[in-house]
Amino acid sequence: MRYLILLLAISMVVTSCSTMKNTSSVSPAASTHTQKKPGSPEFIETISIKPSTGKEIIEVPLKKENAPLSGNVGDHSTIEFASPTLLKYAILMNAPVEELNNEKLIHFIDDWYGTKYRLGGEDKSGVDCSAFVQSFMLCLYGIGVPRTSKEQYLESDRIKKAELAEGDLVFFHTRGKGKSISHVGVYLRNNKFIHASSSGGVMISDLDESYFKQRYIASGRYKD
């Protein structure tokens, strides 16, 4: 009798343990579904930043042919690997990364970008608008232009605003109510131009910004 009771107790314990195991276990499929793979890219809208042992890599989707410059691309099948520098200027110029294929231009802009403004200055310790244009035109296109914005205006060929292309000059009046030329920049693309601003140094601005829109006078082109 004692043997029978002991056997019954052992049977109850085994059954109890088996039930607990079944109710507390988590299926492998559910567990792996919620876990994130180490090293997987973090997506922020259409841009992902991948962990890297060396230089940071930023992935941006290529612009599809005839697609607008802004908005959702919607297709991640083709990825352009871009450095943070290239991505920065793609954003500043409102251009697809793959279209910024003039490395010399990007390097020149990045080399001067943020240089402080100094009236009469001609180097990276401080530069004014016309001296910056001088360096830009000579280094990138081999074109020598005069030293002052007024002379650059007088010696360039007039073109319409709608005809602006990379390397054309844009002229402004920035001193009081007068209409005389007092500021100059170099057109890049998509209404953007680069210039040495008295307030922010060498920077990229938009012709449609209210300040420049009100002060724009003319555009000029130098032939090779």
- Catalytic residue positions? 129, 183, 195
Find the farthest-apart pair of alpha carbons in the chain and give their distance in angstroms, rounded: 120
> What is the spatial distance between Cα 201 and Cα 188, in angstroms, rounded to a whole number?
17
* DSSP for residue 41: P
Partners of residue 48 on adjacent β-strands:
43, 59
Task: State the number of CA atoms in the 13 A half-sphere of 220 facing the CB.
Answer: 22
Phi-psi region for residue 74, left (φ > 0), alpha (ψ -120 to 50) or beta? Answer: left
